């Protein structure tokens, strides 16, 4: 009955909007609980922080949402220290850029299907995607 609930070819019914909103609410509450548990915080403290805003690293640290500020190499060194990995040990990393490019390319291919559905966004959405496709993500 609701298999096409997210179809770009028709509007949602009021019942489908309610179902979708419940899904969003459930995911939000799950997110709040995961953060609260992981950061050892009361969910009542987390909830007002989890309102969709973006925090700087400094803000996130002050709010107790992160432990430290740093970059990839800081995180790598921290992990090596915690796991007692010596500098003589070999660290192997995998470049996932090709998978990301493939994902974006797939999204760009489906853009034409959704252009009419999301016409209200006009060129704000469609034009940047077209430019990315033209550039072939290289």
The pLDDT score that the predictor gives to residue 33 is: 97
- Output the pTM of the full model: 0.59
Tens-place pLDDT, residues 14-55: 999 999 999 999 999 999 999 999 999 999 999 999 999 999
CA distance 135 to 124: 18
Distance CA 132, CA 95 (A): 21
pLDDT at 103 over 80: no
- Residue 102: predicted pLDDT: 78
> Which tens digits make up the pLDDT trace of 45-73?
999 999 999 999 999 999 999 999 999 89
């Amino acid at each position: 009955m609701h298999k096409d609930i997210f179809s770009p070819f028709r509007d949602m019914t009021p019942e489908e909007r309610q179902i979708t909103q419940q899904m969003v609410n459930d995911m939000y509450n799950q997110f709040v609980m995961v953060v609260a548990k992981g950061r050892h915080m009361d969910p009542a403290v987390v909830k007002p922080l989890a309102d969709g805003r973006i925090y700087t690293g400094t803000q996130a640290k002050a709010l107790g949402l992160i432990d430290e500020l740093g970059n990839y190499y800081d995180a790598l060194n921290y992990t090596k220290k915690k796991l007692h990995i010596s500098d003589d040990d070999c660290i192997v990393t995998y470049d996932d850029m090709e998978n990301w490019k493939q994902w974006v390319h797939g999204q760009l291919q489906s853009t034409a299907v959704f252009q009419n559905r999301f016409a209200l966004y006009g060129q704000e959405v469609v034009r940047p995607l077209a430019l990315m496709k033209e550039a072939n993500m290289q």
